[in-house]
Structure formats: structure tokens, C-alpha cells
Amino acid sequence: MIELVLAQDCIGCDKCIDVCPTSVFDRGAKGVPTIARHGDCQTCFMCEAYCPTDALYVHPQVTPLADHDDIEQEHVGRYREQIGWGRGRSPGAKVAVGPELPKGALPPRRSSDG
Ligand code: SF4
Ligand code: SF4
């Protein structure tokens, strides 16, 4: 669930407001978004992914945190970096660990007559 808006890093671009599927944010003073409808957050991470300055933090827990002291600071503003969005970053799909794709001839096609 969205937990933090880092006002000092926000440039007021409105991207988080535009991408949020459930209109959680309102535009606040100087363009810094406010979390106006916290309970509507779907924990989809889209706002954090699109924020160009890593000024948002979505916690993986789907209910509001009782205490922001529980937030691990090294995770704040890191989601976008981890998925490789942003100038100079490697797309996460390129560095994801997964099984090797088979090399060589393609498997035979299934014939239509069985
Ligand atoms: S995590 Fe998704 S639903 Fe929640 S505020 Fe961000 S964009 Fe909106
Ligand atoms: S996307 Fe980031 S920089 Fe843009 S308004 Fe939202 S918090 Fe601010």
C-alpha cells in the first residue's frame, strides 16, 4: 500500500496521479500529491514505477502500516530502479534469473489431423 510521498524529491509532474487506477492521490500544494484515499490503494506499484524521481514508496503489505518506523529505509524509492525503469538502467527482464531457453531446432508442430 502507498505509504510515503517524499515531498523534497517530488517535481509535481502528476504522473502518479494519472497512472493510479483508483485515484488515491489529490494534487496538493506546489503539485506534491497527497494520499487522499489511502484505503483505495490496490498495492499495484504503478505510481512508484512511473515516478521519475523515485519520490514514492509503496509497501508490499496490502493494509496500511501502523507505524512508518517499520519501513526499511533501503527499500524506499528503489522499486523503479529494481525493475530497470529510468534513464541508464537495465530493464529488469534482461537481468531476471530464469531457466535457459532451449537452443536449436524448434519443437515439431502439431499436425491438424492428430
Ligand atoms: S500502488 Fe497503485 S493503487 Fe496504490 S496509490 Fe500507487 S498507483 Fe494507486
Ligand atoms: S510522479 Fe513522483 S515526481 Fe511526479 S508528482 Fe508524483 S510523486 Fe511527484
Tens-digit pLDDT string for the chain (114 aa) = 999 999 999 999 999 999 999 999 999 999 999 999 999 999 999 999 999 999 999 999 999 999 998 899 999 989 999 899 988 888 887 777 777 777 888 778 887 655
Q: Going by CA atoms, what residue is nearest to atom 3 of ligand 2?
A: 10
In a domain, 13, yes or no: yes
Output the CA torsion 18→16→39→30 (10° steps).
-100
Q: Does the CB atom of residue 20 touch ligand 2 within 6 A?
A: no
Lookup result for grid cell 493494509: 63
Count of structural domains within the chain: 1
Identify which of 8, 1, 19 has the alpha carbon closest to the alpha carbon of residue 55.
8
In a domain, 30, yes or no: yes
Q: What are phi and psi of 51, to 5 degrees?
A: -65, 120
Give the CATH number for residue 77: 3.30.70.20
Joined grid coordinates for residue 43: 498495492
Q: Check residue 113 and give its pLDDT.
A: 56
Query: Which of 6, 11, 14 maximizes ligand 2 atoms within 8 Å of its Cβ, making it the mutation to test the pocket?
Result: 11
In a domain, 100, yes or no: no
- The neighbour count for residue 77, using CB atoms within 10 Å, is 18
Ligand in closest contact with the CA of 43 = 1
In a domain, 78, yes or no: yes
- CA dist., res. 85 & res. 51, Å (int): 10
Q: Check residue 42 and give its pLDDT.
A: 97
* Residue 58, domain extent: 2-91
CA angle 21, 26, 32 (to 5 degrees): 115
In a domain, 33, yes or no: yes
Residue 84: strand pairing partners: none
Q: Going by CA atoms, what residue is nearest to atom 2 of ligand 2?
A: 51
pTM greater than the 0.75 cutoff: yes
Q: Check residue 74 and give its pLDDT.
A: 92
In a domain, 17, yes or no: yes
In a domain, 67, yes or no: yes
Q: Does the CB atom of residue 53 touch ligand 2 within 6 A?
A: yes
In a domain, 50, yes or no: yes
